[in-house]
Amino acid sequence: MALADLDQVLEIEAQVSVAPWSRRNFESSLHSHNQCWVLCKNNDLVGYAVLSLVADEAELLLIGIAREAQGHGFGRLLLLHILDCAQKLNARAVFLEVRASNHVAQSLYASEGFNEVGVRPAYYPAKKGREDAVIMALEF
């Protein structure tokens, strides 16, 4: 991901995220040590992901696939790439948080070996009230 990708990334993020990251969030991620990736098909940017690494623990902060491109294997492709990056950076494990209602993402993560390791009650603002975060982890 480069600064020049941000217009397209922000457009997708606004489409697919309940609480979208701002341009500033992406800029500071790009200026940090985070791993920031985009996935392109031909010349179209179809998805993005951000991974942070602290000591030997990685955290998948964000993953999104454009709505019209969802369900065609791009999310899995990007996740596998991110897991490969984490392994190459010597991470011992990858953690992530996902909304309790987000069964699509949870089933993708579970199918790649993530296990549920905890719940943060009422963690996310939701359309009505608040929603739990499910914490998932994959150990290499």
Ligand X SMILES: CC(C)(COP(=O)(O)OP(=O)(O)OC[C@H]1O[C@@H](n2cnc3c(N)ncnc32)[C@H](O)[C@@H]1OP(=O)(O)O)[C@@H](O)C(=O)NCCC(=O)NCCS
Measured between alpha carbons, how far is 69 from 73 in angstroms, rounded to an integer? 9
Region binding ligand X by CB under 6 A among candidate stretches 1-9, 61-69, 85-93, 126-134: 61-69
Spatial CB neighbours of 46, under 8 Å, sequence gap ≥ 6: 12, 39, 40, 65, 66, 69, 74
133 binds ligand X (CB under 6 A): no
Choice between 90 and 117, CB closer to ligand X: 117
Measured between alpha carbons, how far is 94 from 84 in angstroms, rounded to an integer? 11
Q: Is 109 a catalytic residue?
A: yes
Among 75, 83, 86, 131, binds ligand X (CB under 6 A): 75
118 binds ligand X (CB under 6 A): no
Measured between alpha carbons, how far is 119 from 127 in angstroms, rounded to an integer? 19
Among 85, 108, 126, 135, binds ligand X (CB under 6 A): 108
Single-letter residue type at 48: Y
* Beta carbon of residue 3, minimum distance to ligand X (angstroms, whole number): 22
Residue 89: name the closest of 35, 21, 29 by CA: 35
- Put residue 23 in one of left, alpha, beta given phi > 0 → left and psi -120 to 50 → alpha: alpha
Write out the binding residues for ligand X, residues 78-97 only, by CB under 6 A.
none
Among 64, 86, 131, 133, binds ligand X (CB under 6 A): 64
76 binds ligand X (CB under 6 A): yes
Q: Is 124 a catalytic residue?
A: no
